[in-house]
Amino acid sequence: MLRIAVFVSGRGSNLKAILNHPELSNLIKIVAVFSDKTECGAFDIARSYSIETHVIGKGENKIDQSDLLKVLKNYNLNLIVLAGYLKLIPIDVVKYFENRIINIHPALLPSFGGKGMYGMKVHDAVFNSSAKVSGATVHFVDAEYDKGKIIAQRCVDISDVSSPEDIAERVLKIEHQLLPEVIKAFAENRVKIVDNRVVIKT
């Protein structure tokens, strides 16, 4: 069983897609969900599956960033999944979990990524660029926003959309397929780094 922590900031539809994926139930266990928000939709989903939740931040009942690595180590994790998490991961955590933290981004990196590019801001930028395709990217997390090596991408045709919301809807569907597929590949030990590129073995 691959032991996973999921980091979230919002409604948690990607968390739900992982939890509901029929091929993952025997391969992974989500042992904890972390958020920078005190409350969010993703926490409700986690609780409904009896998964432990933690708030990262300053104050009572919160985990300070400087204590995060210690808490994560206690969970004996194999993988950390950022699913709509809006904050940077502290550098000590990035280093300790090198090549074991992944993020889903709702566009085709390296375009439309980086600091401040999250949520509808991404889809607005894609819409205004008049791009004809968008998609989802799963990548390794390093010390910078959206910069780590790309693990998997999937495109969607947006040539006929009439709003950024249309793009968001199409991309989200792809996200819900791609992220569980990549997690499955990790669980089956099929994600390899070969000649400086990330390869998913079939």
Q: Which residues bind ligand GRF (CB under 6 A)?
A: 8, 10-14, 42, 83-84, 104-106, 118-119, 172, 175
Cβ nearer to ligand GRF, comparing 67 with 119: 119
Smallest gap, in angstroms, from Cβ of residue 36 to ligand GRF? 13
Smallest gap, in angstroms, from Cβ of residue 83 to ligand GRF? 5
**Nearest-CB residue for ligand GRF:** 84
List residues with catalytic annotation.
Answer: 105
Tell me how far CA of residue 55 lies from CA of 18, 32, 65, 86, 102, in angstroms. Answer: 21, 11, 10, 13, 19
Smallest gap, in angstroms, from Cβ of residue 117 to ligand GRF? 9
Cβ nearer to ligand GRF, comparing 76 with 171: 171
Spatial distance between the Cα atoms of 83 and 184, rounded to a whole number of angstroms: 15
Cβ nearer to ligand GRF, comparing 46 with 72: 46
Spatial distance between the Cα atoms of 162 and 187, rounded to a whole number of angstroms: 39
